[in-house]
Amino acid sequence: MHTQPLRSIVKVSQVQSFSKAADQLGLTLSALSMQMKSLEQALGVTLFDRSVRPPRLTPTGRAIVKEAIPLLKHEGKIFEICRPGDELAGQFRLGFITTAAVRLLPKFLEAATQQLAYATFEFETGLSANLQSKVLMGQLDAAVITDTDGLPSQLSARVLKQERFVFAAHKNLLNNGFQSLLHESDFFHFMPETGIGKLIAQAMLQYERPARSKTIVLDNLEAIMECVTVGLGFTLLPVPDVERYRIPELKLIDAHDSLQRKLVLVTLRESALTRHQEELSALLETYCGPSIPSGDLCDLR
């Protein structure tokens, strides 16, 4: 029996959705459904309860998923034994925090295709806490996350980049200086419960904004930057996230030097990828994003 159907049922179990699983596996929904039916026929059991929507794994299906996860890990070890030299080989699952995925994932995939000929990758995006938990549970082989509170001892981490934060606002909102911006303009705050959001919330405590000041919480960086670039308010974000949506009318104000987001690549210490952290990190570090020359920063405080 090929192991791809087992990978597919594990993916369905992880994302709790046939359509999401099909999308992440690069399959059509009908192809995934046929694959699962073929697996049921090969095993002679019912894996899904299709009387409900979405279909749920049966107890037998859940038991097979539990056994499939270590089996697939052993398959990866077999690929390692057969790889030429010390090249990374096998199929791996990588996670990216949503805020970094838009600039890291496409370039990483392009570079990996060219430089890691014996390795294939599946990807998912999410919040740092969720991705970290999935690495700990073995549902992901590695993840790029924000390290804000320290990492569990079971994880091996390699720092990819320290990213400075900057305030960003349309030049028209800065006519009367930074303090006026703080007191009179709306603040667009990226999700306070995320890694970035926690850093922003802590940083903003040092700035005394009036009680009447309005804070707008959004879960999408692009939406925040679109609002800021048209002059609806200001924000505080890592340099690469601001630079991606920057226009000439957008002014950047330097935040405190100690305010930085630490992007790290994490793996389980006993994972096959741990020995290749340096190799993967080298591919990722190249695309971690630009630094803004000091001449482009205003200090209006």
Q: How would residue 295 be classed by pLDDT, with cut points 50, 70 and 90?
A: very low
Across 191-199, average pLDDT: 88
Closest-CA residue to 180 (of 234, 242, 227)? 234
Mean pLDDT of 13-25: 86
pLDDT at 113: 83
- Identify the weakest region by mean pLDDT among 48-62, 68-82, 110-124, 212-226: 68-82
CATH topology of domain 1-82: Arc Repressor Mutant, subunit A (1.10.10)
Q: Of 280 and 10, which is predicted with more confidence?
A: 10
What is the structure's pLDDT at 76? 66
Q: For residues 77 and 43, which has the higher predicted lDDT (pLDDT)?
A: 43
- pLDDT, mean of residues 27-45: 88
**Nearest Cα to 97, choosing from 132, 48, 138?**
132
Tell me the fold of 164-259+292-298.
Answer: D-Maltodextrin-Binding Protein; domain 2 (3.40.190)
Instruction: Compute the mean pLDDT over every residue in the chain, rounded to the nearest whole number.
Output: 84
More confident: 116 or 179: 179
The rounded radius of gyration (Å) of the Cα atoms in the chain is 23
227/87: higher pLDDT: 227
Is residue 293's pLDDT more than 80? Answer: no
The yes-or-no verdict on residue 124 having pLDDT over 90 is no
Angle at which helix 277-285 crosses helix 98-115, to 10 degrees, equals 110
C-alpha 297, offset from chain centre: 28
Sorting pLDDT into bands at 50, 70 and 90, what band is 296?
low
The CATH 1.10.10.10 portion of the chain extends over: 1-82
Average pLDDT of the segment spanning 121-126: 86
| pTM listed for this prediction | 0.67
- Residue ranges, comma separated, of all CATH 3.40.190.10 domains in the chain are 164-259+292-298
CA-to-CA distance for 158 and 154, rounded, in angstroms?
14
Q: Where are the alpha helices (DSSP H) in 121-177?
A: 128-136
**Around 194, how many Cα atoms within 13 Å sit in the side-chain half-sphere?**
23
